Amino acid sequence: MNIPDDLLYTQDHEWIRVESQGDKQVGVVGITDYAQSQLGDIVFVDVNTVGETLSQQEIFGTIEAVKTVADLFMPVSGKVVEFNEQLRDKPELINQDPYGEGWIIKVELTNPEELNSLLSAEQYKQLIGEEG
């Protein structure tokens, strides 16, 4: 199971990679390799929240897989500034490359301190170890 060390994780199996852009902190958000393997073939990714400012753990979208449907949760509070448009036609990018081309949204963080509440790679490994 691929769990990169340089990302932060949620209990709900999202990951976030934060970069500074000027005075803003922008996070790229996706779901983990573990999550995509549990969901199986992803059929649709629906994100209708671009432009909205959402709180940590609010739902920002939905993933429909062959066998199940799953909500996507904000890892931190922020404004959804971009959806990965490639996923409209190629949702399987999430299955193929969950930390790269399969990223889902970009978020402008409104409360970067919330990053402290997220899991490290090591902690996330323990989480899915327990679940698996």
Partner 1 sequence: MALKRTPLYQWHVDHGAHMVEFAGFEMPLYYNSIKEEHLNVREGAGLFDISHMGELLIYGPEAFDFLQYATTNDVGRLKRGQAQYTLLLNEAGGIIDDAILYKLDDDRFMLVVNAANTEKDFNWLNHLAKGFNVDIEDVSDQMALIAIQGPRAQAILSKLSETDLFQIPYYHFVVGAISGFPNVIISNTGYTGSGGFELYMAPGYAKYIWEELLHEGKDEGLVPVGLGARDTLRLEMGYRLYGNDMDESTSPLEAGLNWVVHYDKDFVGREALLKQKEEGFTRRLRGFVVEDRLIPRKGYEIVDREGTPVGTVTSGGFGYSINKVIGMGYIDRAALKNKSDLFLKARNRTAQIKLSKLPFYKDSPFVKNK
Contacts with partner 1 by CB under 8 A lie at 37, 40-41, 43-44, 46, 64, 66-67, 69, 92, 95
Least distance (Å) from partner 1 to the CB of residue 9? Answer: 22
**Nearer Cβ to partner 1, position 27 or 61?**
61
**Nearer Cβ to partner 1, position 41 or 122?**
41
**Nearer Cβ to partner 1, position 40 or 100?**
40
Least distance (Å) from partner 1 to the CB of residue 115? Answer: 29
Measure Cα distances from 54 to 13, 25, 27, 59, 80 in Å: 18, 15, 14, 8, 8
**Nearer Cβ to partner 1, position 33 or 114?**
33
Order across the sheet with 8-9: list the strands. 8-9, 14-21, 24-31, 105-109, 78-83, 53-54
Least distance (Å) from partner 1 to the CB of residue 7? Answer: 24
CA torsion 107→41→44→117, rounded to 10°? -20
